[in-house]
Structure 1
Amino acid sequence: MLLDDSVKEFLFECQIRQYTKKTVKGYRNSLEFFVNYLKQIHHLTDIEQVKEYHIKAFFAYQLKRKRKETYLNGLIKVFRAYWKYLEQENYISDNPMLKVSWMKEPKTIIKTFSDAEVKRMLNVYPETDYMNMRNKAIMAMLFDTGIRNYELCCLPTDVIKDNYITIYGKGKKERQVGKSPYLSKILMKYERVKKYYFEFKNIKYNNYFLSRTGRPLTNEAVERIVKIAGDTAKISDTIRC
């Protein structure tokens, strides 16, 4: 079976399993990157030609290019799922990923924000209009609940309750997080401003946070909101969400 055909079939299987578009896109990019390497460096085109040596050589090459261990472990996760699928479908007789180990990742200390830094970042966005009120509500929710960027972008309106928020994470896993009095107050103001802002506009989406034009937010949009808050409040350059 050709490598290109096997990748297409595996990605189709991921869609059938209802993986998120972001996950499928990540799988596609990782596998196409790997297949191009196999073609260009080892001149391989068929899945049965790929051996343990070729995969280890790929990772050795990436280490020489100074790729981080966390990134490489992400690739290993994708490759394991891909080769496991091929094995289950009886497309291969031996799984070359079985003897490919995880990379040892260095232990890093994640710097947290002080109360003063959190306050400065929240104060970056005044409660003057829809965009600023929305951005302040986003910052407050990130700090208060620990919600992930992608989860925040997909958050529907009807999961915001009086005392808690229901969040659907990876694999449609559901969890509930409580709302602090401060977050409840900010969201109350945001909902009031949002109602008036979109009152005479035809909104097709039920996302809690919407763009200026009424569309769902992207991960990149939320990252910009956080970065602007960090830069304006003079917080560390490494701030991210």
Structure 2
Amino acid sequence: MNWSSYIKNFEAYLKIERGLSKNSIESYVLDVEKLQHYLIDNAIEVSPLNIKEETLQEFIYHTSKQINPRSQARLLSGLKSFFNYLIFEEYRQDNPLELIEAPRLGRKLPDTLSIKDIDNLIGAVDLSTNEGERNRAMLETLYGCGLRVSELVTLKISDLFFDEGFIKVTGKGNKQRFIPISPLTQKYITIYKNEVRRHLPIQKEFSDTLFLNRRGKQLSRAMVFTIIKDLAKKINLNKNISPHTFRHSFATHLLENGADLRSIQLMLGHESITTTEIYMHVDRKHLNQVMQTFHPRNKK
């Protein structure tokens, strides 16, 4: 088999055996294809089964001049997964990247918005248009439920359990979780669904998808990014924000108002609470309040 055949089988393995999401699979495959293109461009004839550590080190050195350390670490992770797959299928006995270390990364604190910023962004939505009603409902859902943008655009009407006060979300690795949804967010979703969405030329395959574009198809993630960037410009918000900023703000504001990390972890869908703990570092004021309130030396 050539590189393309191994990559195709790797893609099937990620989907069937590991159950990864479409976006994750695309990222892993792209990592291996970068290596494949490097070998072709440099006339290096070697297969996935006999490529050596030295060749991979040269590739990594070459790419390190073009990408930042975080992207480099991500690339190494994808390639290690590919060679681990080859070991799993007994094509190889070793992982040639085993001794190659990823660059050390400091943990990046997430960007967040204040409650006022969020109110101003949502308040800037033009409700005189059908898209405005949709955009308000989307932003309220992003912030009110802490969703990833991929979870937002794939949210289905059949996932709404308003009587019980929850929505069902399908996250990374097709893992599902239930998230509480506030009456306010329910209200804006209902307005959009009943007064705007029902009048769209809905395509059959998207009949259960909640948020649609004007052609009756699922919104792209890029469109959600564009909507948010345009609103930020409209209110002169000089911050580099994205849909994920709403998710970070959701977690930070919950923590600031007394929510426990375990509950936030469940709502965000983090496998490890270590991932959620990053929000402990966002607001020092909150940590100081916890110390003053709960440490025995501070009690009278």
Q: Which residue does the alignment assign to 1:231?
A: 233
Q: Which amino acid aligns with 1:144?
A: G
User: Residue 185 of structure 1: CA displacement?
Assistant: 2.1
- Cα 1:202–1:94 change in 2 (3 A) is closer
Distance 1:21 1:48 in 2: 26
Q: Which residue does the alignment assign to 1:71?
A: 71
Does residue 82 (structure 1) correspond to residue 115 (structure 2)? The answer is: no
**Unaligned stretches of 5+ in structure 2?**
244-300
Distance 1:161 1:5 in 2: 44
Counting only pairs closer than 5 Å after superposition, residues 39-188 of structure 1 correspond to structure 2 as 39-41=40-42, 43-65=44-66, 67-162=67-162, 163-188=165-190
- Cα 1:182–1:114 change in 2 (3 A) is same
Residue pair 1:153, 1:217 contacting (<8 A) in 2 also: yes
Distance 1:152 1:34 in 2: 33
Alpha carbon RMSD of aligned pairs, Å? 2.0
Q: Which amino acid aligns with 2:65?
A: K
Residue pair 1:149, 1:219 contacting (<8 A) in 2 also: yes
Residue pair 2:202, 2:217 contacting (<8 A) in 1 also: no
The count of aligned residue pairs is 238
Q: Which amino acid aligns with 2:236?
A: K
- Cα 1:165–1:117 change in 2 (3 A) is same
Residue pair 1:129, 1:193 contacting (<8 A) in 2 also: no
Q: Which amino acid aligns with 2:217?
A: R
Secondary structure of the structure 2 residue equivalent to 1:175 = strand
User: Residue 184 of structure 1: CA displacement?
Assistant: 2.1
Instruction: Give the TM-score of the pair, scaled to structure 1.
Output: 0.89
- Cα 1:154–1:196 change in 2 (3 A) is closer
Distance 2:94 2:239 in 1: 46
Counting only pairs closer than 5 Å after superposition, residues 12-27 of structure 1 correspond to structure 2 as 12-17=12-17, 18-27=19-28
What fraction of aligned residue pairs are identical, expressed as a percent?
Answer: 22
Distance 1:122 1:27 in 2: 35
Can you list the C-alpha shifts for 1:21-64, whole angstroms capped at 9, x where unaligned?
33333233221111111333371331233112222222222222
Distance 1:82 1:196 in 2: 45
Q: Which residue does the alignment assign to 1:211?
A: 213
Can you list the C-alpha shifts for 1:170-190, whole angstroms capped at 9, x where unaligned?
111112221223212222221
Residue pair 2:87, 2:94 contacting (<8 A) in 1 also: yes
Distance 1:202 1:232 in 2: 30
Instruction: Give the TM-score of the pair, scaled to structure 2.
Output: 0.73
